[in-house]
Amino acid sequence: MKIYTKTGDKGTTSLFGARRVDKNSARIEAYGNVDELNSLIGVILAEFLGVRPLSGVEPLKKKLLRIQSELFVLGADLATPQELESRVKSQRVKVPRISPSYIKRLEEEIDSWSDKLPKLRNFIFPGGGKIGSKLHLVRSITRRAERSVVEISKQEKINQNALVYINRLSDWFFILARYINKLEKAPEVTWSGRSK
């Protein structure tokens, strides 16, 4: 099977259910941002290979792999307009959708890590160790993806759980960045509220 189909050579692509849209549409922008986010998680997972073994890292790697899988669900959710749901169901194809259970699990993990971290009294600069810094970058890309999901929601009906999930996911990455920095003993630099 060839990787190229030539069907997108004129700047359009197919959504799930065969509807064609421009490649710069809000929907494509959103799941493209989700794809970029997922790719950076892959870079972070590769980064783990080069660090000395840290206590508690193995479960975190598994959670990142789970997030990659959930982002595929989010991408499928965004690539399948809700008005096509009945048509897709008639083809006996199950479209994966983000559900409240995804959000609940993120919240439980955020709460668990937060309990192990010093309380924040100031803003902190994105940074820390190599992995923590990249997790802060992932958080900012997650925020961009969220903005693009919000843009779709203003134009079309979408799964509202997708919007809540991407919002919660940026919080998840923020707390995970702090938690990894703590494991790596990488100090957090706080913002004083003014420039030097």
Structural domains in the chain, CATH included, are 12-183 (1.20.1200.10)
Q: Are 73 and 96 in contact (CB under 8 A)?
A: yes
Percent of the chain with pLDDT over 70: 78
Per-residue confidence (pLDDT) for residue 8, from 0 to 100: 47
pLDDT in tens, 168-177: 999 999 999 9
pLDDT in tens, 150-187: 999 998 889 999 999 999 999 999 999 999 999 888 88
Most confident of 51-60, 89-98, 157-166, 181-190: 157-166
Q: Are 165 and 102 in contact (CB under 8 A)?
A: yes
Tokens linked to 137: 């970058």
